[in-house]
Amino acid sequence: MQVISNYPTHKQYSPYLTLLKDEWAALSPGSVQPLTAQEVKDLQGINENISMEEVSSVYLPLSRLIHLYTTASQDLHSVTNLFLHKKTNKVPYIIGMAGSVAVGKSTTARLIQALLSRWPNHPKVELVTTDGFLHPNRVLEERGIMNRKGFPESYDTSKLINFLADLKSGKEQVSAPVYSHLVYDIVEGEEQTVTSPDIVIVEGINVLQVAHDGREIPEVFVSDFFDFSIYVDAKEEDIFKWYIERFKTLRTTAFKNPNSYFKRYAELSDEEATQVATKIWKDINEVNLYNNILPTKHRADLILRKGDNHSVERLHLRKI
């Protein structure tokens, strides 16, 4: 499949400033690395091996940039209160994080959360995944779209928008549903409560989605609530490879759990696992990537482009 971008290819007219990894690293000289090697290890996902050098050269400068943006937003809030001659509730700085299944966006989100919480003025950083806003399996089954889980129509978008609207209206305490990857469903009765956060990272494959396949365009998009957005990018063949590797590893970890929705895959051989994972990728994840996720890439403020070793090679930052 091929995605055709509407943007001119000549960098002179690009809406992005492109920096190689070394150029990006130089933008944050002298910053002290606040994370230990063990903390980084605990934050990374399956089959990812994020080095301390990668954290220092990519994610630490990124946290500095977001820290500067957040501080500027807080200053703007104070100036607005001064102009209005009244004090309004503070609202969190919201970051959207998008990208394909298996591209490593969850690890990126966790690293950014950990680093941002170490900067002054915004120590309370929350991470919310949009998996919690998926419709329960019973609803997906009733609608005949269980095989399109993760596609835009599988989410309760209204609930997600209401959650974000509450955050941006300054509501002190807001709750989000909880999703379990083990049982592959919403956990009934459980909620993630977010109380007076300074920053909220909203991570999900379709958070930059706007409209699709004949649906009436809504008045409000999820991305309307984002102050900054990040798209984690890589070649499709690399993402596919990472997906297969992760699937094989899960056979000996999560799939072994008797409560796992995918326990039927635990005893597959390497060859069988590759066949099953390839079919799932081709029938579901690849279709979702090309039809719904990849077309949103150029709506992001920052694109992190990874190489085949999961390491970020270059960054595209939207010009202001």
Q: State mean pLDDT over 177-206.
A: 96
Interval 135-165: pLDDT, tens? 999 999 999 999 999 999 999 999 999 999 9
Strand pairing class (173-180; 185-195): antiparallel
Residue 147 to residue 287: CA distance in whole angstroms: 11
Q: What integer pLDDT is reported at residue 216 of this predicted model?
A: 58
Residue 244 to residue 172: CA distance in whole angstroms: 42
Residue 7 lies in a domain: no
Q: What integer pLDDT is reported at residue 202 of this predicted model?
A: 98
Least confident residue range of 92-96, 121-125, 226-230: 121-125
Kindly report the CA angle at 167 between 162 and 172, in degrees rounded to 5?
120
Q: What integer pLDDT is reported at residue 3 of this predicted model?
A: 46
Q: What integer pLDDT is reported at residue 38 of this predicted model?
A: 94
Q: Answer yes or no: is pLDDT of 172 > 60.
A: yes
Residue 120 lies in a domain: yes
Nearest CA to 236 out of 297, 317, 308, 303 is that of 308
Q: Answer yes or no: is pLDDT of 5 > 70.
A: no
Strand pairing class (312-318; 302-306): antiparallel
3-state helix, strand, coil in the chain (%, to 5): 45, 20, 35
For residue 222, the 8-state DSSP code is G
Residue 301 lies in a domain: yes
Helix locations, the chain, DSSP H: 21-25, 37-43, 52-54, 60-84, 105-116, 137-142, 157-168, 236-250, 270-280, 286-288
Interval 32-69: pLDDT, tens? 889 999 999 999 988 888 999 999 999 999 999 999 99
Q: What integer pLDDT is reported at residue 6 of this predicted model?
A: 52
Q: Which CATH number belongs to the domain containing residue 220 in this structure? A: 3.40.50.300
> What domain range is 183 assigned to?
16-318
Could you tell me which residues are beta bridge partners of residue 177? 191
Residue 6 lies in a domain: no
Q: What integer pLDDT is reported at residue 218 of this predicted model?
A: 65
Q: What integer pLDDT is reported at residue 122 of this predicted model?
A: 76
Residue with tokens 């095989």: 147
Q: What integer pLDDT is reported at residue 217 of this predicted model?
A: 59
Question: Is residue 203 helix, strand or coil?
Answer: strand
Residue 8 lies in a domain: no
Q: What is the mean pLDDT of the chain?
A: 91
Q: Answer yes or no: is pLDDT of 4 > 50.
A: no
Residue 193 lies in a domain: yes
Q: What integer pLDDT is reported at residue 211 of this predicted model?
A: 58
Could you tell me the pLDDT band of residue 2, with boundaries at 50, 70 and 90? Answer: very low
Q: In the structure encoding, which two tokens stand for residue 86, read together?
A: 């009244």
How many separate domains does the chain show?
1
Q: What integer pLDDT is reported at residue 220 of this predicted model?
A: 85
Residue with tokens 């494959």: 205
Interval 238-295: pLDDT, tens? 999 999 999 999 999 999 999 999 999 999 999 999 999 999 999 999 999 999 999 9
Interval 197-231: pLDDT, tens? 999 999 999 899 875 545 555 678 999 999 999 99
Residue 3 lies in a domain: no
Helices 236-250 + 270-280 axis angle, to 10: 130
Q: State mean pLDDT over 311-320.
A: 95
Residue 9 lies in a domain: no
Q: Evaluate the CA torsion angle 192, 230, 107, 146 in order and state its sign.
A: positive
For the chain, the residue count is 320
Q: In the structure encoding, which two tokens stand for residue 34, read together?
A: 């606040």
